[in-house]
A and B are shown apart, each in its own frame.
Chain A
């Protein structure tokens, strides 16, 4: 008879404590909850509504159903921007991941002066985007830029970089590699966490460096690679600032030319840029919102696909 009573008392005690904890937890989380409702949830929902309207900010939105979406599916520039963006996601992501990983592996060779080299590789990634874009505009200048000066001295062909639709995106990828420093730091730290004993065992088995890299290093840090891959893909889907600035700077600057430019033959018209043109250039908020929703769905789908591949190549140490 005593026992159940005790349990009841204990339960009551817990639930009181639980309630007070819940109150505290809720109060401390409140800033985010309010922020989420106002700055994320509300915009996401209303954006879906806007995407089905004709809306120029000044007049009330006018319902047009799925017209914005059907119009996009026959819009050449929409496909162009989608292609340009996928190009960056599919090429710039692996290029920068591999570059960051290789740099990290190099720095992980028990070398002297590690902090100095680490700093040198990291610094470019904290240069403000506008400053680094300006700098690269100048470095990539076809006539007086540093890269073409070097290529000329070596007697190699000199691309027109941002003026030639074939070399605009590679130019941005080169610039992106210069900024892989913070990803490199993450890889380096995770490499330092791989236990030495793993390598020693492999050495006894006679595995060479490359074999060790793929059979020990990559599996050991695969969760970190996985996380960086996802973040990088999401970022490249939203690629904007560099393209915006490079186009402005390479098309003669001043307001004389078309502000809604996509670079040489629209080769730099990335998805976010075209969306921005529609929203704030042409004030087609409805069409831009439809684009935003399509992007949202693409990002979620691609992230989900990457998550699906997780079982095949990502290994978590504890399991």
Chain B
């Protein structure tokens, strides 16, 4: 009895020790993951002299907000911001409309075609961007659309494989009986789609909207290929151009990076569950 108790308490002790160790490791790694963010903010608040001072400082001595004003004034920041926003929002509209329609066809319309089409849709995820990039560039050149936002936005209106896949997984969870009873009541497919499926899948659609927004907000290769006048630049492209002309000015560069990142972080805190949910569904239930 006594020895048994002793063993139990030693196991307990052991378990507590492990738990403490786990916490220590997690806190240390969290710190390491956060340091780059702090470094971005600290640098953005240091004067040019302080950044290159020897010995270097960690915290800014005197908060130097001029980096932010110079980041916003030395480049047409508002312009870039609006361009990025317009492209990202239109891509969201295109992707949500088209991908949800296709996902509906792949999950809730019982037709033979879906059996053949769906594997192809998933398969297209394997096609490297580089293969389609050149012919599409040539195509858009012939259509005189290079130098406009059209090549960045138009393709999203034809559905994205990844998002179709994500939405299909959600749509499949809706019971067929709901659709059948609506059909008996005389509802047409468009009504079923718009009045039953979409409202029931709001969380999934929000996830898709967020991921599309994120992807297009941050996209670099697309704008690099198709936007060639400065007044059309997105933030990604503008920031890159700014880096090339203000190479050593890490203060304004970090300030601009911070302003570029903040909207995404705000979006995350407002829609956290959609981020997590969306990622999880594609990753696991696939």
What is A's interface to B at a CB cutoff of 8 Å? 18, 21-22, 24-29, 31-36, 38-40, 42-44, 46-47, 50, 57, 103, 106-107, 109, 111, 117-124, 126-131, 134-136, 138-139, 144, 146, 149, 178, 182-183, 185-186, 189-190, 193, 224, 227-228, 234, 237-238, 240-241, 244-245, 248-249, 252-255, 272, 275, 279-280, 285, 288-289, 291-293, 295-296, 299-300, 303
Task: Compute how far the CA of A57 lies from the CA of B140 in the bound complex, rounded to whole angstroms.
Answer: 12
Closest to A190 in B: B284
B19 interfacial by beta-carbon distance below 8 Å: yes
Question: In the complex the two chains form, is B284's CB within 8 Å of A189's CB?
Answer: yes
Give the secondary structure class of A's interface. helix
Task: Compute how far the CA of A254 lies from the CA of B193 in the bound complex, rounded to whole angstroms.
Answer: 53
Question: In the complex the two chains form, is B244's CB within 8 Å of A253's CB?
Answer: yes
**Chain A to chain B contacts (Cβ below 8 Å), 27 pairs:** A24-B111, A25-B105, A28-B104, A28-B109, A29-B101, A39-B158, A43-B135, A47-B134, A106-B25, A106-B29, A111-B19, A121-B33, A122-B275, A123-B268, A127-B264, A128-B235, A128-B264, A129-B236, A130-B236, A131-B260, A134-B243, A144-B52, A144-B56, A189-B279, A252-B247, A295-B128, A299-B126
Question: In the complex the two chains form, is B155's CB within 8 Å of A139's CB?
Answer: no
Q: Which residues in chain B, 6-22, are within 8 Å of chain A measured between CB atoms? A: 19, 22
Question: In the complex the two chains form, is B127's CB within 8 Å of A44's CB?
Answer: yes
Closest to A19 in B: B111
Closest to A182 in B: B279
Q: State the Cβ distance, A97 to closest chain B Cβ, in Å.
A: 13
B70 interfacial by beta-carbon distance below 8 Å: no
Question: In the complex the two chains form, is B131's CB within 8 Å of A25's CB?
Answer: no
- B92-109 vs A: 1/0 string, CB under 8 Å? 000000100110111001
Task: Compute how far the CA of A255 lies from the CA of B39 in the bound complex, rounded to whole angstroms.
Answer: 28
Residues on B with beta carbons closer than 8 Å to the beta carbon of A130: 218, 220, 235-236, 239-240, 257, 260
Question: In the complex the two chains form, is A43's CB within 8 Å of B132's CB?
Answer: yes
Task: Compute how far the CA of A80 lies from the CA of B189 in the bound complex, rounded to whole angstroms.
Answer: 54
Question: In the complex the two chains form, is A292's CB within 8 Å of B131's CB?
Answer: yes
Task: Compute how far the CA of A13 lies from the CA of B224 in the bound complex, rounded to whole angstroms.
Answer: 55
Residues on A with beta carbons closer than 8 Å to the beta carbon of B258: 131
